[in-house]
Structure formats: C-alpha cells, structure tokens
C-alpha cells in the first residue's frame, strides 16, 4: 500500500498566515476604518469552516478562498465587501453555515452576494442543465450587484490556474465552461487581462498539443522579436521625448488563444501570422488633453511608418460598449513587417486591464452609464423567465462577445447594437411596442425590410402599423436577446389567447358528451394525443389540429375518461428519465472504450466532427441515439461540455482492427498541369487509401480542393497529409473539422 505523505501542520499554519498577510497588503489602498477587523472575521470563519478540507492537490482548502480574495483586491481592484465575500464564497455550500448566518454576522449585502455565488443543488430534468441554472441564479444577483460576477471570475481564474491536479475529464468540463461563458463575461466587463488568461488556460486544457506548439514557437522567436521591437520603438521614443510627451512603450505578444483563433479562422499557418505582437504606447497626460495627445502620437508614428488605411480603429471617440478606449493602427514597420500599434493613456490602460472595477476609481460617468445600460439589458432578459435556462443562456451569450456597431435614430441619438443586428432589433431597442408594431424601416432614407442587417453609421427610421403583430419567423430576423425574448413573449401570449378559446370549445364538447371537465380528464386526453401540456391540447383544438369528433370514442367510468376500446388514455411519455439513461449507460466504469467488442454500448461517431482513432474524444449521452462520440476540439464540444457535463463520458480508442474511418482534407496550391493527377496517384498508389469523393475548384491560377478519404487512424492521416505537402505546387494541406 502506498504511504500517505506526512503533512507538516506547523509549516502549513505559517504558510496560511503568510498568504493572509499578503492579502492584507493587496487590500491596503482601499482599507477604511474597521475594514481590517471585518476581513479578519471573515478569514477566521472561513479558516474554521474549511479546517478539515483539502483541495485535489492536497493543499489546505483555505488557500483557495485566500487566493480568490487576493485576485479580487490586487488584479480587479475591488474593496473590502468583495474581499469578505470572496473569503466566504464556499462556506454555505460546503459547511453548516447558512445565508442567514452570513446576514447576521456581516450584513444584507454580503449575504446577497454569497447567495448569488452559491450553487443550486438538486436534480436535473430532461431539458435543463444544472450549469445553466446556476449561471442564471448568479446573474439574478448581478442585476443588483455587479460584484457577484467579478468575484465569480476571480474564483474561476484561481480554479483555472490550479487545474493541473484535476482528472482529465474534470479539466475538460471546467475549461470548456470557462471558454464558453466566463472568458466572454470577462471581455464584456472590460477585464482584458483576466479574459486573456482565462482563454489561454482554457486552450491549454482543451487542446494541449496546440497550446504547447504555439507556446514553444513564441519562445523560440522571442529574441528576434525583442530585437525587432527595440528597432521599431527607437525613433518614436526620441520624437515623443522631444515633443514633451511622457510615454511608456511596450511590445506585447498576442495571446496564444488569439493566435490559434487566427490560424483557424484565416486558415494561415503560424509562420504567416504577421501580428504576433502589438506595440502599446501609453501616455501620461491630463484628462482634457487625452484625445488630442493620442492623435498627436498617431501622427508621430505614421510619420515614420506607413499606416494601412483600412486597419485604423478609433475607440477613443466612440468607446466599445465594455468601456474599452484606445486608438489602433497597423503600420508597415522595418523589414517589411506589419505591426499593430495601440495608443492610449494611463487611465485608458487601467480601464482596459481592470475593466469596470477601475471605473469606480475614475468615477467616469460615461463608462458607468454603459455598465448601467448593460445591467439594464440583463435585467430585461431575466424579467422574461424562459422555461429553459439553456435558451436563456444562448440569448445571453449572443450579447456577450459580439462586436458592436453604432446606429442613429432620426434625431441623431446613437444606439450600440451587436454586429449583424437588424432593423427589427433596432425597433425593439427603442421600445417593445415599437418592435411589436414594426412593418419596415427606412435606412438612410431608403426603404428596407425588417431583416435588413445594419452597418455602423446607418440612420434608421422605424415604420409601424397598429395592425401589426409579431410573427414566428421574426425570431430568425433578430440577434439581440431583448428582441428575441420580447417576440417569444408576444407569441406565447397570442398562443395563450387562442388556447383560451380552445378550452371553451373543449368544455362545451365535454358537457355535450356528459364527461366531467376535470383536470384529470383533460390531462388524460392530452396524454392520449401525446401532447406535453393541457395548454397545447386547447391550442390544437382551437386551430383545428384535433378533430373533436374523436371524443365520441371516449366514455366515462367512475369519473375517469376511457377510450371505448377499454384502453385507458396512455401516458405519452413512458421513456426512462435522462438520469436513468445516464446512470445505466455509464454503468460501473466512467470510461468508454471505443471499438471494443466486449462492450455492447450503442455509440455513433458524430457527423459534426467525424472523429477517427487517435483523436482526443469524449462520449455524449443522447436521449434517443445512444452515445455520440465527438472530438474534443469539435465545433459543438464547448457547448456540450460546458452545459451538460453530467452527460459526458470519458472515451478512448482501443487498438483498432483495420477499420476505415472517413476524414476530410483541404488542399490549396498553384494550378499546375497534372497536379490533380499527381495528388490522386499519390493517395491511391503509395498509401493504399480509398477515396470517397474529390472536388477541385480552380481560379486564376490557384486551386482549392477537398478530398474525402478512408483512413485507419490519426497517424495514417498525418502521414498522408505530410506526403501531400511535398507534391509540387501544393501550398497547404489541412484537416477539415467539419465534414
């Protein structure tokens, strides 16, 4: 038996005290009279509550709340209330202390924030996701107090920093949830430094090979980059000093996550990404000179280096909705390399890194009102409680990461909307009633349909009619959560009114047939027609989908409705509950071995990412189709792992007999004579690979082709791709993620 390591409790006590003192130093700038005592009280309670608990790494659990409080104070810049709540954020969930105890010991505000941070415990049903429900609960508190989300982000950041000691499936679940929800949230709140770290750590655990590869290449190119940056900066530094502008100039590498994004979306290899870093010029200037001084710096930079006209971004005149202000330009630097230059002031830089927490320091009214606007929008989404927390989450997420456009009302009032927003979104942004009655719009004085996608700078006049009502297909025209939820509500209300008429029709028919119009009989009838609710039954009766003549086939016995065949109306849903399916499918082991004949589990390879042996995969338990196998970097994986972690099973491939799997390869190159012939010959002759389909498209001397081939595993595929790269005229060979 393995011996347990001996724990030096004395050394741990010293370490806890050391970390607590470091926390107090981080709080120093915000401490007021009596604050130190409050923090000490919270620390003592947390220490006592978690005294026998350890983290997965074996460390005392108290390290975690101290670290979260430290991040709140140091990296986000929050004050005493947040530090107290961070120290206590897990005590209600993990110990006997209740929210009422917190209220008694600290106060109403602290109790509310900690309640928002405490997870819902309970059973999940068919459609809901526990993660989504917890997230909604947290956002309900956010609409009163933004600190709940900032503490949650600090908690998530520390968990991501210490994810090393978790099992692989846990790492996947937490990292996916982070990329799906928490990184976009940090972005939306303007916490740039935290967003970047969450994204990089998320990638490190979802796609470790990709992460390590980019990290290694960045390290290798570092000396050369440093040389280039100092060469670029030198002349600018001199002129700035001559002109009396106090400036700090730094070269920052782009985050690993954003480099990987570029490789994926632009389809370019690492070597061809020109903006692996950005030069940031931060000037120290007075508030009233900020804008003019930033443009002065822009003028100096572009005197030396030619700017790319389409790459100028002015977020100083119109800041992003998350409060971000900066001037971005891309210029042609030494050695023919494009370089991104960001120009901003000390204040703007602090806001960009620490987001809304820094806004309180500057009490910047314009930015505060933007935060208020955003929280107002969240409140609106929450006021329309969807039956399904996942639907709510999708609507909410839509409005987190979207780039913004600016549009104007006829009177010149500016509205900020997400990219791809339509004239109908704009109408709902003005007022619900305007949206519901909208029949069209004039954009820049020209008539456009409701589905017209707005562009920055458009001026929109909404046309309405009192006869108009929201239609089902409107949901396909809008992207904002506000418009979606308002349209859904209006449609629900309309359906409810129609159902009322159906109820009356059904009641008349029941009376005519001398059947009691009771809740039990209505439900039996709904079950007989396999409908989910009595409202659906009434609605279908009203619109004529259910012919009331069918009721003649029913009679009543002891007050209960029975079909004349003697058969009692059957329950529509005699399926097993999802929980039963999950636990039966999981069985004793939580690892699914694919390709083993021993395990007769019904699994399918998911068509959205076509996994093949050798890929990093997981199994997802579906309700009707057994287990579906997805690649970990499948386009749908993030959402599944983030929202339905309890339906995920770990999966690995066994050593396969020679079974062939379908994979797709994309090839680009220069259109030379006989090239296609060379490619197909190589595939079939050299490697004995069967092709299912091949398509090539040529355009002015270049070509792009897609080949679907049958391979045994990832090694087989990699080998094939390596050989294809060597064919004369071929420029790039990549695996298709989505076949």
Residues designated catalytic: 93-94
User: Phi and psi at residue 442, in whole multiples of 5°?
Assistant: -110, 120
Q: Give the number of other Cβ atoms within 10 Å of residue 512's Cβ.
A: 10
Q: In angstroms, what CA-CA distances link 390 with 129, 133, 394, 645, 658? A: 7, 8, 6, 13, 41
Cα separation, 663 vs 403, whole angstroms: 34
Strand-pair partners of 706: 666, 695
Cα separation, 184 vs 198, whole angstroms: 10
In this structure, the strands spanning 627-631 and 603-605 are parallel
What tokens appear for 6 in the block? 């001996």
Any idea what DSSP says for residue 555? Answer: E
Alpha helices per DSSP H over 28-76:
35-49, 63-70
* Segment (H or E) for 452: none
CA angle (729, 731, 732) in 5-degree steps: 140
Cα separation, 271 vs 255, whole angstroms: 16
Cα separation, 580 vs 573, whole angstroms: 14
Cα separation, 626 vs 372, whole angstroms: 46
Cα separation, 372 vs 393, whole angstroms: 20
* Segment (H or E) for 697: strand 690-699
Q: Give the number of other Cβ atoms within 10 Å of residue 112's Cβ.
A: 19
- Nearest to 394, CA basis, from 403, 381, 406, 405: 381
- Nearest to 192, CA basis, from 356, 353, 316: 353
Instruction: Report helix, strand or coil for 180.
Output: helix
Handedness of CA 527, 528, 534, 537 (dihedral sign): positive
């Amino acid at each position: 038996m393995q011996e347990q390591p001996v724990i030096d409790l004395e050394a741990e006590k010293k370490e806890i005290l050391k970390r607590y003192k470091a926390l107090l130093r981080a709080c120093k700038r915000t401490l007021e009279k009596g604050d130190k005592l409050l923090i000490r009280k919270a620390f003592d309670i947390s220490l006592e509550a978690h005294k026998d608990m350890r983290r997965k790494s074996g460390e005392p659990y108290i390290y975690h709340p101290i670290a979260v409080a430290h991040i709140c104070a140091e990296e986000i810049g929050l004050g005493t209330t947040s530090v107290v709540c961070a120290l206590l954020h897990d005590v209600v969930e993990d110990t006997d202390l209740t929210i009422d105890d917190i209220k008694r010991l600290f106060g109403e505000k602290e109790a509310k924030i900690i309640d928002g941070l405490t997870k819902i415990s309970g059973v999940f049903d068919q459609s809901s996701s526990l993660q989504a429900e917890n997230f909604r609960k947290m956002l309900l508190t956010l609409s009163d107090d933004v600190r709940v989300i900032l503490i949650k982000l600090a908690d998530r950041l520390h968990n991501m920093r210490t994810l090393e000691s978790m099992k692989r499936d846990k790492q996947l679940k937490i990292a996916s949830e982070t990329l799906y929800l928490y990184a976009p949230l940090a972005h939306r709140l303007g916490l740039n430094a935290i967003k970047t770290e969450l994204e990089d750590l998320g990638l490190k655990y979802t796609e470790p090979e990709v992460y390590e590869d980019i990290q290694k290449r960045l390290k290798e190119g570092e000396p050369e980059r440093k040389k280039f940056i100092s060469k670029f900066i030198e002349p600018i530094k001199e002129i700035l000093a001559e002109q009396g502008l106090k400036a700090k100039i730094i070269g920052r590498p782009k985050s690993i996550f954003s480099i990987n994004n570029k490789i994926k979306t632009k389809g370019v290899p690492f070597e061809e990404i020109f903006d692996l870093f950005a030069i940031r010029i931060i000037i120290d200037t007075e508030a009233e000179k900020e804008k003019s001084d930033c443009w002065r710096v822009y003028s100096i930079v572009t005197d030396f280096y030619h700017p790319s006209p389409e790459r100028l971004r002015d977020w100083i005149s119109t800041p992003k909705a998350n409060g971000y202000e900066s001037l971005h330009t891309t210029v042609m630097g030494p050695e023919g390399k494009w370089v991104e230059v960001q120009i901003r002031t000390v204040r703007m830089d602090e806001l960009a890194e620490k987001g809304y927490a820094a806004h309180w320091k500057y009490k910047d009214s314009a930015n505060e009102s933007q935060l208020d606007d955003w929280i107002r929008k969240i409140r609106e989404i929450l006021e329309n409680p969807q039956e399904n927390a996942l639907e709510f989450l999708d609507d909410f997420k839509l409005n987190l990461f979207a780039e913004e456009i600016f549009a104007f009302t006829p009177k010149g009032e500016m509205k900020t909307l997400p990219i791809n927003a339509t004239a109908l979104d704009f109408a709902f942004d003005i007022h619900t009633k305007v949206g519901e009655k909208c029949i069209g719009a004039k954009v820049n004085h020209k008539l456009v349909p409701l589905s017209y996608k707005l562009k920055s700078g458009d001026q929109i006049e909404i046309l309405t009619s009192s006869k108009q009502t929201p239609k089902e297909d409107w949901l396909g025209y809008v992207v904002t959560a506000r418009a979606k939820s308002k349209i859904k509500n209006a449609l629900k209300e309309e359906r409810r009114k129609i159902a009322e008429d159906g109820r009356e029709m059904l009641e008349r028919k029941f009376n005519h047939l001398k059947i009691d119009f009771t809740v039990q009989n209505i439900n039996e009838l709904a079950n007989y027609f396999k409908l989910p609710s009595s409202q659906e039954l009434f609605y279908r009766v009203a619109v004529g989908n259910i012919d009331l003549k069918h009721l003649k086939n029913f009679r009543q016995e002891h007050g209960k409705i029975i079909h004349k065949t003697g058969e009692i109306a059957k329950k529509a849903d005699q399926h097993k509950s999802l929980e039963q399916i999950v636990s039966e499918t999981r069985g004793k082991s939580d690892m699914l071995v694919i390709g083993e004949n021993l395990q007769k589990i019904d699994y399918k390879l998911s068509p959205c990412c076509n996994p093949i042996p050798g890929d990093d995969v997981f199994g997802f338990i579906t309700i009707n189709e057994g287990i579906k196998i997805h690649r970990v970097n499948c386009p749908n994986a993030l959402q599944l792992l983030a929202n339905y972690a309890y339906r995920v099973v770990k999966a690995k491939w066994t050593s396969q007999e020679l079974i062939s799997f379908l994979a797709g390869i994309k090839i680009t190159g220069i259109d030379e004579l006989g090239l296609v012939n060379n490619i197909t010959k190589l595939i079939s002759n050299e490697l004995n690979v069967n092709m299912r389909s091949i398509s090539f498209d040529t355009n002015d001397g270049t070509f792009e082709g897609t080949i679907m081939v049958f391979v045994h595993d990832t090694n087989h595929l990699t080998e094939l791709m390596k050989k294809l790269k060597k064919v004369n005229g071929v420029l790039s060979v990549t695996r298709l993620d989505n076949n």
